[in-house]
Amino acid sequence: MNRDENEPNEPKEPNPIRNSPRLPVSPTLTLDKAIELGEYKPEYLAGFPEWHTYTRQMQFELIKKALTNRRKQLLNQWAEINRSNDFRLKPHLIEASDNLHKQLEKVRLDKERLYAEYSMEESEI
């Protein structure tokens, strides 16, 4: 017998998305509206009862749609700020532009993480 066969299997690390507490959602906000507004975090979306009726693939499609919406919103905000004629007269806009770049980077990283997570087989979770 191989030494590895005698050792118990290491438990898989718990999935933070599946085991995270649901975040409260507004009673007037629907899942579709949240997706439209760019809310892509599964922890938040899990607060909607209908979220749990969807398959993992369907959830992932909604997440991708929300990520796209969030990125478009941030790019539109960035474009509005950069239409300013003279940043010397409005230094606060430089800070706002930098903040938008940070948010865009966070969305990019979240997208990569979620794609990796949702590309796993259901049995791997």
Backbone angles phi, psi at 97, to 5 degrees: -65, -45
Name, in order, each residue with C-beta under 8 angstroms of 15's C-beta and a sequence gap of 6 or more: 117, 125
pLDDT tens for residues 85-124?
Answer: 777 788 888 899 999 999 999 999 999 999 999 988 666 6
Helix 91-118 to helix 56-82 angle, to the nearest 10 degrees? Answer: 160
- Which domain range does residue 50 map to? 3-124
Provide the number of structural domains found in the chain: 1
Span 26-83, pLDDT tens digits: 778 999 999 999 999 999 999 999 999 999 999 999 999 999 999 999 999 999 998 8
Q: At a CB cut-off of 8 Å and minimum separation 6, what does 90 contact? A: 84
Residue 123 is predicted with a pLDDT of 61
